[in-house]
Structure 1
Amino acid sequence: MYQFSYAEISQDSGASAREREKEALDHTLEILARAEKHGPRSPEAIEAIYVTRTLWSILVEDLANPENALPESLRAGLISIGLWVMRETDSVRVGKTQSFQGIIDVTTMIRDGLE
């Protein structure tokens, strides 16, 4: 009986964690969309770069944790994506890239995968 209850709690906890991750990605996507609209040198772009890098830093750190329950190959793939996103935000910041669209597309795919 206790194991069943614990399993339910663990499952609910995982579901709520995915929901929080989805909400964080949704929030980031809203900020990225505003930055895309206003351009790479706008105050919105500065906010988008900061928020996106912060979120993906947290996600990558969690994915690198050996206690993360995701399969190792999935974790490795998501870490690679996160590192790419952070490099792309740097490219926008230094002017090598003029658009957030690639970051938006990849983040949207990750967010959609949480559903």
Structure 2
Amino acid sequence: MSIAAYKQTIRESESPRQIERRVLTRVTAALERHAEGFDTAVPGRRHFILAQGLREALTDNQALWRALRHDLADSGNRLPEGIRAALISISLWVDRQSTQVLGGKPGLDALIEVNRRIIAGLAGQAPRPGEV
């Protein structure tokens, strides 16, 4: 089966929500591969970790959230307005936070936690008490 046929099969068999969850899970896993010790590392070590692949993972995460923001802002998006507004706000925070981390500042763990919570929501899991 060609890659194009495989991608078409995925598009036909997964809902948009499942696709979003799968892509966000992949991007989050890439962030997690570089997370250990990043936020507590000295600045020079953080720059080294960024150069070892974290920079690419962060830009992929930003690109995903920008694409989500674009979709959320579209008038054809069927999510309730309040949820759309909240997710757009989160996407703007992700963009700012990612820029800080790309500059060598701590904050990677917070980005990963936000992604995990969105993944859980896309999977239909309700937040535990105290997580909201």
What TM-score does the superposition give when structure 2 sets the normalisation length?
A: 0.71
For residue 110 of structure 1, what is the amino acid of its counterpart?
Answer: I
State the alpha-carbon separation in 1 of the partners of residues 67 and 101 from structure 2: 20
- Counterpart in the other structure of 1:21: 20
State the alpha-carbon separation in 1 of the partners of residues 95 and 107 from structure 2: 14
- Counterpart in the other structure of 1:63: 72
- Counterpart in the other structure of 2:36: 37
- Counterpart in the other structure of 1:85: 94
* 8 Å CA contact 1:38, 1:44 repeated in 2: no
For residue 56 of structure 1, what is the amino acid of its counterpart?
Answer: W
For residue 67 of structure 2, what is the amino acid of its counterpart?
Answer: I
Question: What are the Cα deviations for residues 8-37 of structure 1, in whole angstroms up to 9, with x where unaligned?
Answer: xxxxx8x61000000011001101101213
State the alpha-carbon separation in 2 of the partners of residues 64 and 44 from structure 1: 31
* 8 Å CA contact 1:36, 1:99 repeated in 2: no
Corresponding pairs, count: 101
Q: Give the counterpart of 1:112 among 95, 120, 132.
A: 120
User: Structure 1 regions of 5+ residues with no counterpart?
Assistant: 1-12
State the alpha-carbon separation in 1 of the partners of residues 91 and 107 from structure 2: 18
State the alpha-carbon separation in 2 of the partners of residues 30 and 78 from structure 1: 21
Superposition deviation, residue 47 in structure 1: 1.4
Bigger fraction of residues in helix: 1
State the alpha-carbon separation in 1 of the partners of residues 15 and 90 from structure 2: 23
- Counterpart in the other structure of 1:101: 109
State the alpha-carbon separation in 2 of the partners of residues 38 and 46 from structure 1: 15
Superposition deviation, residue 38 in structure 1: 7.1
For residue 104 of structure 1, what is the amino acid of its counterpart?
Answer: I
- Counterpart in the other structure of 2:6: none
For residue 20 of structure 2, what is the amino acid of its counterpart?
Answer: E
**Percent of aligned positions that are identical:** 35
Q: CA RMSD of the aligned region, Å?
A: 1.6
Question: What are the Cα deviations for residues 15-72 of structure 1, in whole angstroms up to 9, with x where unaligned?
Answer: 6100000001100110110121374422221112111111001000000001000001
